[in-house]
Amino acid sequence: MKNLLGALVAIVFLFTNCNKTESIETDSNKNGQVKLKFDLIVNGKKLVLNDYTYTNSNGESFNISLLKFYVSNIVLGKPNGETYTVPKMESFFLIDAQDNKSLYPIISAPEGEYSYLQFNLGVDSLTNTLPAEQRTGVLDVSKHDMYWTWNSGYIHFKIEGASPQANTVNNQFKYHIGFFGGYSSPTPNNNRIITLDLSKAGISKVQENLSSDIHLMVDIGKIFDAVHTISISEYPTIMTQGPHEQMADNYATMFTHDHTHNFQKIN
C-alpha cells in the first residue's frame, strides 16, 4: 500500500512539474525548441486517408485521399505584447497527411513564455515572387506538386477525394486553392493569417535544451461549412474558378489549440 501511495505521489509530482503555471526564469540570449503538432481530424473524427467516409452539413458523404497545405511566417507572442518572428526562410513548412513527420514542424525560439501563436496558411506574395533559385526545400517549385507553373504561384491548400455527390469521373472532388494577390496583374489573395490564443489551454514555456510542444487540432471538415457552406455536388472542382476565396475563409477556421506540453525532452 505504501509503495502504491509513493508511486501515486511521484506521478502527481511529475505531472504538476511538467505543467506548472508559475513563471520560469528565462534568458533571451538562449534558445529552446518549439514543436507544433498538427492533429488532423474531420468533424471530430481522426483523418484516415482513403479509408473512411465523412459527411458534411449538406449530407454529402466523402473520403479524402490527399491533403497538403503550407504553414509559414510563424510568430510567437508574449503576454506583455512582445513578439518573436521566426526567421522567414526557417518558417516554411508543408503539412502533408501522407507524411507523418511533416505534421510536427520544429522551430527555435528565445527562452520565454508565449501566450499566442500566429502563422500564415499559404505562401505570401513576397515569397511567390522570389527568384526560383532562392526557393528551396518545401518551396522548391519543381517538387511537391504544390505550384502552378502555368499560373506562376503556389497552391496554398490542396485536398482531393471522392464523393457520390461529385458528378465527375470516378466521383472525384479536387480543391486546389492558390492566388497570392497577383504578379503582373491583381488577383485575389487566398493567404490567411491564423492567430491562436494559448493562454486558455496552456501557454508555451520555452527553455534551452527542452521542447515546448503546442498541440493543434485541425478540423478539415470546416472547409465545407464554416464561414460559408460549400456543396460538393455544386462544386466538385475548385481551382481558379469557383468559390476559392470562400474556401480560404473556411480553411482559416480549421485550427484550435488543444493543449501544450512544456519542458519535454528533445529526442
The reported pLDDT for the residue numbered 26 is 86
Domain contains 63: yes
pLDDT digits (tens, 9 = 90+) for 70-128: 999 999 999 999 999 999 999 999 999 999 999 999 999 999 999 999 999 999 999 99
The answer to whether residue 6 is domain-embedded is no
Mean per-residue pLDDT, 31-38:
98
Average pLDDT over residues 154-182: 97
Question: What average pLDDT is seen over the chain?
Answer: 92
Is residue 66 in some structural domain?
yes
The answer to whether position 10 is within a domain reads no
| 3-class secondary structure per residue, 188-254 | CECCEEEEEECCCCCCEEECECCEEEEEEEEEHHHHCECCCECCCCCCCEECCCCCHHHHHHHHCCC
**Per-residue pLDDT reduced to its tens digit, 66-85:** 999 999 999 999 999 999 99
* Phi-psi domain of 170 (left: phi exceeds 0; alpha: psi -120 through 50; beta: other): left
User: What pLDDT score was predicted for residue 152?
Assistant: 83
Give the N- to C-terminal CA distance of the chain in Å, as an integer.
35
Paired residues of 55 in beta bridges: 61
Residue 2, in any domain of the structure: no
User: Is pLDDT of 14 > 70?
Assistant: no
Please report whether residue 13 resides in a domain: no
Residue 149's pLDDT is what?
86
**Domain count along the chain:** 1
Q: What is the pLDDT of residues 171-206, one digit of tens each?
A: 999 999 999 999 888 999 999 999 999 999 999 999
Tell whether 117 is covered by a domain.
yes
Domain-embedded: residue 4: no
Which residues form the domain of 134? 27-264
Q: From CA 84, how far away is CA 86, in angstroms rounded?
A: 6
